[in-house]
Amino acid sequence: MKYKPLGNTGLYVSELTLGTMTFGENEGPFAQMIGATGQELATKMVNLSLDAGINLFDTANVYNFGESEIMLGKALGGKRKEALIATKVYNPFGKSANSLGTSRLAIMREVEASLKRLGTDYIDLYQVHNWDTTTPIEETLRALDDLVRQGKVRYIGLSNFNAWQIAKADGVSKLYNLERFCSVQAYYSLVGRELEREILPAAIDLGLGTLIWSPLAGGFLSGKFTRESEAEGRRKNFDFPPVNKEKGFAVIDKLKEIAESKNSSVAQIALAWLLHKEGVTSVIIGARREEQLIDNLKSVDIELTDEEMKQLDDVSAIAPEYPNWLPSMKRGDDLFSRFTER
């Protein structure tokens, strides 16, 4: 397991993160869509991850309506100081006007609830789960800054922001000398590369770390899906994130070819591709079964050649959007010379 600094901080995180969205009991609508592990399996997965060198565990207040945080806290138990806990705030638990969002009221209420469920007195990485269109970002950042100064939160991150929102938040933090977001949690996979257009370049430019969610596209890149048949599993009940399946099956064909040559699984190659990509700090893996987790953990041992990376890049490439399809001119190149000749 390799470790990388999380953005411009001194905090080092493992290149794989254990995602705990599946931690919960086998009841309720959330469990029916995502699946649920139960406490015994959740604890086993946490221990397997720690043994493999994972030090970051990602959850959210809304996952299984708080059960994920409770189970993660119980699973870590006396090993809390060996781990980094990342959780999130934004989504509602109730139906009141102030249930949703990242107002000062909501943040202060939800952080206390998360601390209690996790059984800890501090959160290592507290992430805003989505951009709040009704709360000024200054209010959100001031509340988060207070939590850092109080010691209840060590670092702050964001998730599912557009690039301009990331840049605006960073600018506000610098303007008012507030705690800066240090990380971006976002969706990225071989069948979902939109991140490369604006969000990833923004993160790299601003020095933010990246935590990648759904690297197997909700199981689509697990190796169980083919043109002939679609496997049972999460996507049967929850077809998310969206995938262009015609293009996706071409990606799967190439993954299978490379996986066979390395005696590995399709999922391992899909994860390894992300681990080789510029700007990726840590890839969040999750599982409903122990064998899935064990398979995913082996992705850190996969070495992809430049040619294999190119093949995967080519088959999964996205069409450039304006203004990125405009030609780039640099001083000294032929294109620049043609435009500047008198």
Reported as a single tens digit per residue, the pLDDT across 168-209 is 999 999 999 999 999 999 999 999 999 999 999 999 999 999
| Unique residue bearing structure tokens 């309506």 | 65
pLDDT (average), residues 256-281? 98
* pLDDT band (50, 70, 90) for residue 92: confident
Position 51 pLDDT exceeds 80: yes
Read off the tokens for 277: 């990509």
- Give yes or no: 155 in active site: no
Position 219 pLDDT exceeds 80: yes
SS3 of residue 311 by DSSP = helix
* pLDDT band (50, 70, 90) for residue 234: low
What whole-number distance in Å separates Cα of residue 284 and Cα of residue 215? 7
pLDDT (average), residues 249-257? 97
pLDDT tens-digit map of 303-323: 999 999 999 999 999 999 999
Position 30 pLDDT exceeds 90: no
Transcribe 29-73 into DSSP letters. Answer: HHHHHH----HHHHHHHHHHHHHHT--EEE--TTGGGGHHHHHHH
What whole-number distance in Å separates Cα of residue 228 and Cα of residue 237? 19
Position 330 pLDDT exceeds 90: no
pLDDT tens-digit map of 13-24: 999 999 999 999
- Can you give the pLDDT at residue 228? 77
- Can you give the pLDDT at residue 335? 61
- Can you give the pLDDT at residue 338? 66
- Can you give the pLDDT at residue 28? 66
Whole-structure pTM value: 0.94
Q: Which position among 63, 90, 126, 155 bears the catalytic label?
A: 63
pLDDT tens-digit map of 97-147: 999 999 999 999 999 999 999 999 999 999 999 999 999 999 999 999 999
